[in-house]
Structure 1
Amino acid sequence: MKHLNKLLVAMLMLAGFSSQAQDSNNPWAISFGVNAVDTRVSAASSLENQFSEFFNFNDNWNVVPSLSFVNVSRYVGDNFSFGLTGSFNKITRFVNPRVNNEDFTVVNPGDLEYYAVDAVVNYSFMSLIKSKKIDPSVHIGGGYNWIGDDISAGTLNGGLGLTYWFNEFLGLSYRATYKQSFEDSRLDMPSHMQHFAGLTFKFGGSDKDNDGIYDKDDACPEVAGLKQFNGCPDTDGDGIEDSKDTCPEVAGPAEYNGCPDTDGDGIADNVDACVDVKGLKEFNGCPDTDGDGTQDKNDKCVDVKGPKENGGCPWPDRDGDKVLDKDDKCPDVAGTVANNGCPEVTEEAIKRLNDYAKTILFDSNKDSFQQQTYPVLQAIAAILKEYPSAKFAIEGHTDSDGKDDFNQRLSDARANAVKSYLIEQGIDQFRLSALGFGETRPIDTNNTKAGKANNRRVEVKLVK
């Protein structure tokens, strides 16, 4: 047994320098158990005789009832593995060849110690038969064998094997190997069969993150993950691996790249500015309750439609003339659409203005008003205020008395005096113009006192 221990240590050291892998997951395998040596095949005169008593344990096999072989192997690719086997036995049954067609004779050569070191190239059919438990195999190789102190020879080996795997790491194995001796005297080192039965352990696969997926197949070897994602994690358990999940810590559907849609508005939470309230895509998930195109947070009238320019509120129409204040040049006075919301100046209003204008009295040859004229001017101002967008021309006229130049200057001064007073009463200066015509536009004869009185006048005209 001490010799086998030395052999085992040497084999393990040699296997440590191998650069292959036992299989696609675990790089190493070690087998150990018992072996049996059968010398009958060398004594047989025909192939039939060699295998006729293949499993005659009692008469032909030499067995040591203890741990008597160790095999260490590594995978070399494409179902092939390479290994070394060290074995120990005691030869207590030696089968002599037939003499003159007599039966085989089994002798005890005296408990000769048997040692063997064999190199094994093994081919597994497990993947070909697509089994996860049954592993049939064929092997070839060569080795060197010792019997007793004086007998040793090399052999060419070949045989079959079968392993039943209980799980990914542990299996029950059997291997039968025919060893063809190259010794001239087959009585010294006969060709023989050696049988191996024991347990096989596969090991050496690396799984740093302990997720059950070997590092060579693990796309995320540093982080525990799932098999369906090649070892990468799905932290939120939504069926989308973290590397493709926009929200890896919150479960969400695939249509939103793994992000949830809390308010159910069809916009994922990670891009939804209003996560808890249904909204519109164009407003990043925020609502527009009245549907006026202004989102609620910017809408001053959330429940009433209105233009964006007015903060989402409808434009007012203070005077109720159906012209919105924004377009109404007279927002506080009802008017017509045609006149931009301002009232139309009627002929009646023009007549009233001129009726008042005829009663404007000036001091003789001056542009100053007589006292009784001020109420008339105030009445004119009140009418003008009714039409805040209308423009008016104030015209001054005289009779023919006096020089033409004087009359022209006087009429002009009197027209401007009326304009100035109206401006003082709040009429926009840009709505008024003033011009004197002197005696050039009489409306009556200048030959009578009454006619001259009619010609001395102020007229108010609408400027269109």
Structure 2
Amino acid sequence: MKHLSKLVVAALMIFGLNSIQAQDENNPWQVSIGVNAIDTYPANASQLSEALGQTSSFGNEFFNANDHWNILPSISYVGVSRYIGDGFSVGARGSLNRISKLGDVAVDDLSHYAIDGTIKYNILQNTKLDPFVEIGGGYTWVDEIGAGTVNGGVGLNYWFSDNFGVTLQTQYKHAFEDYGVTHLQHLAGLSIRFGGTDTDGDGIYDKDDACPEVAGLEAFNGCPDSDGDGIEDGKDDCPNEAGLKELNGCPDADGDGIADKDDACPNEAGLEALAGCPDADGDGVADKDDQCPNEAGPAENNGCPWPDTDGDGVLDKDDQCPDVAGTVANNGCPEVTEEVQKQLNDYARTILFDTGKSSLKPESTSVFVDIIQILNEYPTAKFTVEGHTDSVGSAKLNQRLSEERANSVRDFLIKEGIAADRLTAIGYGEDRPIASNNTRAGRAQNRRTEINLVK
């Protein structure tokens, strides 16, 4: 029976380790080992005394360790429990002792074995000073006599660290059977809590660690802050560079409120609209891209103001004659006035042709110089070169001759550099006289060339 009792206690320990549920949320298991003391004095043990052939007397003394306690000077109890939540733990405990004092009566050394199931409630959780209450039940053997008990007790754990502490406990064990012994059992021992996992070794158990694979800080639930800027890496846009909270952990070297990673000019305070670059002249073109950083100008001209080379009030970009002063109405080009038109035709009417032909006489060369000078002053103006004849001869012949002479003048001007698209040759024959064909002087005036502005 003695050996059987020991086997039962051992089996219960193994069962407890494998099947009981949790100790605290991080270290669910608690194992306690130590010594126990049995005290039968406060309880009525007369039935057991009679069963064992002993006599017993009880006085008013309730608690006297020297006279009443039975202590085995060795490890005499082992307990295991597992935390199940909300401060509750369930467990099992096995103990052994030698009974030599049964109340006031000395008896032969009697073996004492007990196995108990426990339900424990920790009153103050997650503290070093850890008081608890406990209820349960079990079975106790004194020598060969066994009896079931219902138990209730109080105790105190004191934790030196997360894992190690001491336990003091007293429990009252009431025997169901008349012959059983109702008694107090006092326990004192060392306790170990374990079962928590800390994969990354940062002192924060995986259960509470938001980053269980990476060592971190308690302030960030176990997540790291690699750059030490007070922002955990998971929320830090620049986890390897210390930065500002308002910029999600990124630095701002120039203090312009734009994170360096997004700042095209990180060492010069600038504008958000220009990706952090400055704009000294306020023209909307970043200085780094502005060819005239101190003079406002449009982006399409690289930040420089548009020039007006000829000073006519029309910007070069809109000026069709940027090197010649003109008028706004004529897109920056000079306008051909009536005076200029008259001067042009005064020159044109002096152009001489060989008689009855379209070939130009050499002496007309000088007048062409004056005509070309005027045409170059109005580089965008377009003109018609008109040929006219007198009425001598057939109208058909005169028409052909006027056309040929107009083309001869046009071809000469083009050869001298006037753009072909500015000149149109037209022959009017004898249809547009400016004087009478009945006189030699009138016919001389009608044989003419005119260069007129196309309006």
Where on the TM-score scale, by shorter chain, does this alignment land: which range?
0.7 to 0.9
Confirm or deny: 8 A CA contact 2:281 2:293 kept in the other structure: yes
Equivalent in 112, 119, 122 of residue 121 of structure 1: 119
Correspondence 1:134-149 to 2 at 5 A = 134-148=129-143
Confirm or deny: 8 A CA contact 2:20 2:91 kept in the other structure: no
- Matched to 1:42, the amino acid is A
- The alpha carbon displacement at 1:201 in A equals 2.3
Q: Separation in 2 of the partners of 1:78 and 1:358?
A: 119
SS at match of 1:115: strand
In structure 2, what is the equivalent of residue 360 of structure 1? 351
In structure 1, what is the equivalent of residue 35 of structure 2? 34
Confirm or deny: 8 A CA contact 1:11 1:72 kept in the other structure: no
Equivalent in 67, 78, 83 of residue 59 of structure 1: 67
Q: Deviations over 1:291-347 (max 9, x none)?
A: 433445544444433333333333333222222222211122111111111112122
Confirm or deny: 8 A CA contact 1:41 1:51 kept in the other structure: no
- The alpha carbon displacement at 1:44 in A equals 8.2
Q: Separation in 2 of the partners of 1:449 and 1:22?
A: 137
In structure 2, what is the equivalent of residue 168 of structure 1? 162
SS at match of 2:193: strand
Q: Separation in 2 of the partners of 1:5 and 1:43?
A: 27
Correspondence 1:47-196 to 2 at 5 A = 53-95=61-103, 106-127=104-125, 132-148=127-143, 150-185=144-179, 189-196=180-187
Over the matched positions of the two proteins, sequence identity in percent amounts to 59
Q: Separation in 1 of the partners of 2:392 and 2:43?
A: 169
Confirm or deny: 8 A CA contact 1:275 1:285 kept in the other structure: yes
Confirm or deny: 8 A CA contact 1:8 1:70 kept in the other structure: no
Q: Separation in 2 of the partners of 1:269 and 1:32?
A: 61
Q: Separation in 2 of the partners of 1:418 and 1:51?
A: 155
Are 1:349 and 2:340 an aligned pair? Answer: yes
Structure 2 vs 1, CA of residues 190 and 366 (structure 1 numbering), >3 Å: closer, same or farther?
closer
Q: Deviations over 1:414-457 (max 9, x none)?
A: 22222222222211222222323333333333333333322322
- Matched to 1:38, the amino acid is D
Q: Separation in 2 of the partners of 1:157 and 1:361?
A: 144
Structure 2 length normalisation: TM-score? Answer: 0.87
Confirm or deny: 8 A CA contact 1:159 1:177 kept in the other structure: yes
SS at match of 1:111: strand
Structure 2 vs 1, CA of residues 52 and 171 (structure 1 numbering), >3 Å: closer, same or farther?
farther
Q: Separation in 2 of the partners of 1:397 and 1:50?
A: 162
Structure 2 vs 1, CA of residues 119 and 460 (structure 1 numbering), >3 Å: closer, same or farther?
closer
SS at match of 2:19: coil
In structure 2, what is the equivalent of residue 248 of structure 1? 239
Structure 2 vs 1, CA of residues 182 and 401 (structure 1 numbering), >3 Å: closer, same or farther?
closer
Structure 2 vs 1, CA of residues 54 and 270 (structure 1 numbering), >3 Å: closer, same or farther?
farther
- The alpha carbon displacement at 1:407 in A equals 2.6
- Matched to 1:313, the amino acid is C
The answer for unaligned runs of 5 or more in structure 2 is: 47-56
In structure 1, what is the equivalent of residue 275 of structure 2? 284
Confirm or deny: 8 A CA contact 1:29 1:201 kept in the other structure: yes
Q: Separation in 2 of the partners of 1:155 and 1:50?
A: 22
Structure 2 vs 1, CA of residues 177 and 168 (structure 1 numbering), >3 Å: closer, same or farther?
same
- The alpha carbon displacement at 1:72 in A equals 1.9
In structure 1, what is the equivalent of residue 53 of structure 2? none
Confirm or deny: 8 A CA contact 1:44 1:50 kept in the other structure: no
Q: Deviations over 1:251-286 (max 9, x none)?
A: 222322222223333222333344334444344334
Q: Deviations over 1:332-382 (max 9, x none)?
A: 211111111111212222222222223222222222223322111221111
Compute the RMSD of aligned alpha carbons: 2.9
- Matched to 1:63, the amino acid is I
Q: Separation in 1 of the partners of 2:394 and 2:313?
A: 54
SS at match of 2:136: strand
In structure 2, what is the equivalent of residue 102 of structure 1? none
Confirm or deny: 8 A CA contact 1:85 1:117 kept in the other structure: yes
Equivalent in 389, 400, 403 of residue 391 of structure 2: 400
Confirm or deny: 8 A CA contact 1:288 1:296 kept in the other structure: yes
- Matched to 2:367, the amino acid is V
Equivalent in 399, 402, 405 of residue 411 of structure 1: 402
- Matched to 2:89, the amino acid is S
Structure 1 length normalisation: TM-score? Answer: 0.85
SS at match of 1:378: helix
Q: Separation in 1 of the partners of 2:106 and 2:194?
A: 41
Confirm or deny: 8 A CA contact 1:396 1:438 kept in the other structure: yes
Q: Separation in 2 of the partners of 1:343 and 1:76?
A: 100
Aligned pairs, number: 443
Structure 2 vs 1, CA of residues 393 and 93 (structure 1 numbering), >3 Å: closer, same or farther?
same
In structure 2, what is the equivalent of residue 335 of structure 1? 326
In structure 2, what is the equivalent of residue 18 of structure 1? 19
Confirm or deny: 8 A CA contact 1:301 1:312 kept in the other structure: yes
Confirm or deny: 8 A CA contact 1:179 1:191 kept in the other structure: yes
Q: Deviations over 1:112-140 (max 9, x none)?
A: 3333222222222224xxx7233332222
Q: Separation in 2 of the partners of 1:365 and 1:147?
A: 160
Are 1:309 and 2:308 an aligned pair? Answer: no
Structure 2 vs 1, CA of residues 155 and 360 (structure 1 numbering), >3 Å: closer, same or farther?
closer
Q: Separation in 2 of the partners of 1:215 and 1:232?
A: 11
Q: Deviations over 1:41-100 (max 9, x none)?
A: 33389xxx99953322222222234433222222233322222222232322222xxxxx
Q: Separation in 2 of the partners of 1:377 and 1:51?
A: 155
- Matched to 2:354, the amino acid is D
SS at match of 1:178: strand
